[in-house]
Chain A
Amino acid sequence: MSNERFKNPITESAPVRWTLIAAVLAFLSLFVLTPLVIVFTEAFSKGWEEYILALQEPDAVKAIRLTLLVAAIAVPANLLFGLAASWAIAKFEFRGKSFLITLIDLPFSVSPVISGLVYVLLFGANSFLGPILKSYGMQIVFAVPGIVLATIFVTFPFVARELIPLMQDQGTGDEEAAISLGANGWQTFWYVTLPNVKWALLYGVLLCNARAMGEFGAVSVVSGHIRGLTNTMPLHVEILYNDYNVVGAFAVASLLALLALLTLVLRTVLETRYGSELSAGQKH
């Protein structure tokens, strides 16, 4: 065949390709696949019954419930916040816009432990607000509200960062069209702006949820580690592991790993089916 001698300008020779692929595979199996397998083998090391029992243990159940509760508050809050922020940033011109964008990214650049500590310093017993809160009978730190606050803080960039570039790229043309056709602000948002970003929004929520359920650092600082009260799943895993309860620790950890896998699958589905609507650049 005549094209056998043609060498594609953007490919490499077979040995180079296989070496690179092998290197990546070796790296992935060592650092990603092996730990994942270990989580499940350890969790099931004493059989199914022990695994189920470990998950039915009252403190474990409470940790799971707390994690779900925190995610159920933090994720919708950040959905609303992310939508509002990206809408404002992408569709309107105002002073201090670039500062706001930087501020949204702050939780990604700050260590989660620091963000947890900030809430302790702000709402803790020795803080300025502490006595006031106490006089009203409110406890933020070492209680559920603190955990929710810390989680919201750590996860708030996810939705906004997903939406801002997409909305900026889509511009204001569709909104102007809707307005010129007589739609009011709410109708424009509901019928035009929101449907244009729905898949990106779902994608952001997915990532936000995964992080909200898995957050350790910030939550660890504000929670106080009270068993059955302020322990989320990641914190519970640590406590069980420190107690040499390997099966218990890995059983709870396996749930988090499953969540991660599920997120991954949904993410891939979204990316393959709606890839062009997720990232900037879709024009018609």
Chain B
Amino acid sequence: MEIRVEKIRKEFDLYPALHDVSLKIESGELIALLGPSGSGKTTLLRLIAGLEQPTQGRIFFGNEDASYRSVQERNVGFVFQHYALFRHMSVLDNVAFGLKVRPKGQRPPKAEIRRRALELLDMVQLTGLEKRFPNQLSGGQRQRVALARAMAIEPKVLLLDEPFGALDAKVRKELRRWLREFHDRTGHTTVFVTHDQEEALELADRVVVMSQGKIEQVGSSDDVYDRPNSPFVFSFIGESANLPVRVEGGVVHFHGAPTGLTAQRDGEARLFFRPQDVALIEEGPGMTGPVTSSRRLAGTRIAEIELGSSQEPCHVEIEVPLEAAASNGSILSFRPTRWKLFY
């Protein structure tokens, strides 16, 4: 099921949570809504589910306008951040709930409901736990019960709100891989919200980067990491350094000195680059400053370098080879090898 969000605007008490957001989600895609808290990612997910009404704009499921359909009519599987499992029902009853509440004509017979619920529990690898209650399960198990429960209604779309947010790091990694396999097996259009970029980049076919109620960039993991299209995406995804520069006569100047980088357009700009995308240089134009601190990070060393004048210093972090002399106070010169200017 393809989902189209067209010029959605959502206001809460006149405070806009989403400004004119448009997004097309392909059928069968696994897509991540990534952004800091308050960026509107959960609001967008809840709008797709029908848990919120848009102030303006429309939402299409396939070719049908679903904007005014109720949650029940949209037939979406929604997995809530804290799972929202029914605490007084057993795992089996939780999973069977969606089938039990169907109107008489569409409700499968009892035995069939039970069979399907057990089948779903088997699919999420929880066979044997059907008689337990939610408070007798671990976080990861609850998460999978919530997923099985959402799948029971045979949804066209699966929506997950911070699916791994409440889990510890190890379980989170396991479930992440498991969800990817699950998605590849079932082929549902899946949208999940996360503030964890690692999770988004690893798991999703495409990542939607959001900030302050707007979509900043939509693209594959490679796109948003290697070709960020805004200062926000550059600094939000991965590590980056940025410096105020001035382009004069096609040459990028930092603090009045040429950096050895060239650009088409003159004017004030900000130079962005990643710590690993730099080369240490012996001579020629570049950026030079003393090392103020350094730390070992797995196979490399990260050095913090003070650039600019002592009145208004700029600190940048760059990756240097382990063998480089990068003790505190030693002077290093470098030049970015991959970089981007934002005017």
Chain A contacts to B: CB under 8 angstroms: 173-174, 176-184, 187, 191-192, 195-196, 282-284
Contact = CB atoms under 8 A, between A and B. Distances in A.
Contacts of B150: 180-181
B84 A177 contact: yes
A179 B72 contact: yes
B88 A182 contact: no
Interface residues of B, number: 27
Interface residues of A: mostly helix, strand, loop or mixed? helix
Contacts of A184: 72, 101
Given A179-B72, A180-B76, A284 B88 contact: no
B98 A181 contact: yes
B87 A196 contact: yes
A177 B82 contact: no
B101 A174 contact: no
A68 to B, nearest CB: 32
30 contacts: A173-B80, A173-B84, A174-B86, A174-B87, A176-B71, A177-B78, A177-B85, A177-B86, A177-B149, A178-B97, A179-B51, A180-B71, A180-B72, A180-B76, A180-B77, A181-B97, A181-B101, A181-B149, A181-B150, A182-B75, A182-B98, A183-B97, A184-B101, A195-B86, A195-B89, A196-B87, A282-B87, A283-B82, A284-B87, A284-B134
B101 A187 contact: yes
Contacts of A174: 84, 86-87
Contacts of A179: 51, 71-72
A282 B315 CA distance: 47
Given A181-B153, A196-B87, 11 more contacts: A176-B51, A176-B78, A178-B97, A179-B51, A181-B101, A182-B72, A182-B101, A183-B72, A192-B86, A195-B89, A284-B134
A187 B142 CA distance: 23
A187 B99 CA distance: 12
A180 B149 CA distance: 10
Nearest to A186: B101
Nearest to B159: A180
Interface in B232-260: none
Given A196-B88, A284-B87, A182 B153 contact: yes
- Top-10 shortest CB links A-B: A181-B98, A177-B84, A173-B84, A183-B101, A180-B78, A195-B88, A284-B135, A187-B101, A182-B72, A179-B71
Interface string B128-166: 000000110000001000000110110000000000000
B318 interface: no
B101 A180 contact: no
